Chains A and B, each alone.
Chain A
Amino acid sequence: MTARAPSLPGQLSQNAARPSRFRVDPATVLRYFGLLLAAVVMLLPLYYLIYIAISAPGQEFDFPPGVVPDPVQPGNLWRALEGEPTTPGNLAHYFRNSLWYAGLATLGCLVTQSIVGYAFARLRFPGRNLLFGLTIAMLMMPFVVTLIPRFLFFKELHLTDSLWPLIIPWWFGGSPYGIFLMRQFFMSIPRELDEAARIDGMGHWGILWRILIPQAAPVLVALGILEGTYFWNDLLGPLIYTQSDSIKPLSLGVFFHGRNAFSINYWLFFSIIVLMVLPIALMFLALQRYFRRGFLYSGIGGR
């Protein structure tokens, strides 16, 4: 390569829009360098997460830690799943609880957010604007405000120490954020579509489920990933509502599983975390395409 003086990226990137082939453009090189840096920085914690997860037990305290674990023990993940002698039972019931919690709560959110979003976008009823204003106000409200009354409410119903208090609220309208997003999306679909359906004799339910929901698939996927991940990783909710070990979800179970009497069992802890992140990451990778389209179409982009 000829040693061209590395000029400011600004001077060259004007041409960068149409780079001719086979020429190394410094602006592109700089951009790749930036991308590489970003990737390395963001991967760093994930790398060490996996590093500890597959190190030999006890090695996490070795000084200095290596670059690659020696020996590599992917079997740790399996051991974590089955349970250690020092910990209570295996992980199966935590996984089951997390699946119930995240699954039912996400489903509740998606279903009821669609209905409420439809009502806000398409129906005319008295007090609609007031209710929508309240929904937006709820966006700003910290969850701790409702936390205590909700807890007392479910305590009256004798539903504490179960997962129901974590699931039921989401079947009553989901989250304000989701309602807002669904309304924005439904607003962007031309009304002619549902008018045509109405002429064909469809009611509100038919229009919502057969006409609008199929169109909203990318938004629903984006919301489903965001909300599903939130429930899957939720710590505070289970911390408040679940006392017995048999109903704890994975997020909370990790602490009791990964900790023996005196200290944290790091390899075990991080093995469980890897097992916990894996399904979410795989789901994200599989649905990635919809996920980004969901954000593009949802209207929070340009407006």
Chain B
Amino acid sequence: MLVFYIGPTVASLVYSLTEYPIIAAPTWTGLDNYREIFRDHQFYTALKATSIYTVFSVLIYIGAALGFALLCNRRLPGVGVVRTIVFLPSLVPVFALAMLWGWLFNADFGLVNYVLGEVGIPSQQWFQSNEQALPLMITISLWTIGSAFVVFLAGLQSIPQDLYEAITVDGAGPLRRFWHVTLPMLSPVILFNLVIGIILSFQVFDIAWALSSGGQRVVQESTLFFVLYIWRKAFEEFEMGYASALAWLLFLLIIAVTALIFRTARWWVHYEGQR
């Protein structure tokens, strides 16, 4: 732990204060890297792309996973198969899904443009268009909700059945049961998934990398994600100091957002243990 987490974390903070082209020793430059970052328009591009991606993909991550889990949380014949199917795409590497969507949404020979053409809608550029690439990448994240789905299922199954019986006796319909029993009892699990989802989305990398370097296309401005930008700075331009500073800014950003979520948690998270 100490060697591979805390050590590097401190080291990275130190590097972030230096100019470090990998071939030469680092030279101390103080806060210059940070000053430069705030003047770097690509930094704002990356920040914007990552923020938009995070907001919407987390909505999908929580919403779809919870929806699917509610749907599958009933003993019905066949439900087990559907549970497996919902989890299955999460075993496929994200970059492979990205390449697959790249094929389906290919501007020249993709299936989607063909279907659109049949109903008279002109071909779209999809991933090659600055406006459409980001929404598509957000949509792809629907197929990676497996772990949130499993955690929600486990959470749903640990809600005591007698709570439902009690509120049903009081004459509550399914909507009220969901609102007054399921949601409050599930709120700690929602918090868990929310935090994990945010942390993961901020670090999105594979999708954009596979669709740019792996494929033959250039990355669109709108999908220059933060980690992708750090990777380029560090391992293509070899500016280790600058990249470390970027990484630390991302770390601070994630801490700030998570802290904010935990701050709001007391208003909406219900812990059965403490009353």
- Which residues on A are within 8 Å of B, measured CB to CB? 9-11, 13-14, 17, 28, 31-32, 34-35, 38-39, 41-43, 45-46, 48-49, 52, 60-65, 116, 131, 134-135, 138-153, 168-169, 172-173, 176, 226, 229, 232-233, 235-236, 239-240, 251, 254-255, 259, 263-264, 266, 269-270, 273, 276-277, 280-281, 284-285, 288, 291-292, 295-296, 298, 300-303
B9 within 8 A of A: yes
- Docked Cα-Cα span, A32 to B87, in Å, equals 18
Is A144 in contact with B247, judged by CB distance below 8 angstroms? Answer: yes
B155 within 8 A of A: yes
Is A138 in contact with B5, judged by CB distance below 8 angstroms? Answer: yes
- Docked Cα-Cα span, A142 to B5, in Å, equals 11
Which of A149, A298, A303 has the most chain B CB within a 10 Å cutoff? A149
Contact of B76 among A31, A173, A233, A259 (CB under 8 A): A31
Is A303 in contact with B188, judged by CB distance below 8 angstroms? Answer: yes
**A141-B150 contact, Cβ under 8 Å, with A148-B234, A266-B103, A303-B273:** no
- Minimum distance in angstroms from A265 CB to a CB of chain B: 11
**Chain B residues positioned under 8 Å from A38 (CB to CB):** 68, 71-72, 82, 85-86
**Chain A residues positioned under 8 Å from B206 (CB to CB):** 235-236
- Docked Cα-Cα span, A266 to B151, in Å, equals 35
Contact of A173 among B1, B189, B255 (CB under 8 A): B1
Contact of A292 among B5, B150, B195 (CB under 8 A): B150
Is A280 in contact with B91, judged by CB distance below 8 angstroms? Answer: yes
Which of B84, B153, B154 has the most chain A CB within a 10 Å cutoff? B154
Q: Which of B33-41, B52-60, B125-133, B209-217 contacts A (4 or more CB under 8 A)?
A: B209-217
- Docked Cα-Cα span, A60 to B103, in Å, equals 9
- Minimum distance in angstroms from A258 CB to a CB of chain B: 9
Is A13 in contact with B174, judged by CB distance below 8 angstroms? Answer: yes
Contact of B84 among A32, A49, A276, A288 (CB under 8 A): A288
Chain B interface: which size bin? 35 or more
Q: Which of B206-260 contact A (CB under 8 A)?
A: 206, 209-210, 214-216, 227, 230-231, 234-235, 240, 243-244, 247-248, 250-251, 254-255, 258
**A296-B154 contact, Cβ under 8 Å, with A10-B173, A10-B174, A148-B234:** yes
Closest to A143 in B: B203
Closest to B68 in A: A38
- Minimum distance in angstroms from B209 CB to a CB of chain A: 7
**A292-B154 contact, Cβ under 8 Å, with A60-B103, A169-B4, A303-B188:** yes
- Minimum distance in angstroms from B174 CB to a CB of chain A: 5
B43 within 8 A of A: no
**A172-B71 contact, Cβ under 8 Å, with A61-B109, A226-B147, A285-B84:** no
- Docked Cα-Cα span, A9 to B202, in Å, equals 38
Contact of A142 among B6, B92, B199, B244 (CB under 8 A): B199
Closest to A233 in B: B93
**A135-B93 contact, Cβ under 8 Å, with A35-B72, A38-B82, A300-B189:** no
**A295-B8 contact, Cβ under 8 Å, with A13-B174, A38-B71:** no
**A147-B247 contact, Cβ under 8 Å, with A65-B111, A300-B189:** yes
**Chain B residues positioned under 8 Å from A284 (CB to CB):** 87-88, 91
**Chain A residues positioned under 8 Å from B11 (CB to CB):** 149, 152-153
- CB 8 Å contact bits of B59-95 with A (1 = contact, 0 = none): 0000000001001101010110110111111111111
**A148-B216 contact, Cβ under 8 Å, with A42-B86, A49-B100, A302-B155:** no
Is A236 in contact with B231, judged by CB distance below 8 angstroms? Answer: yes
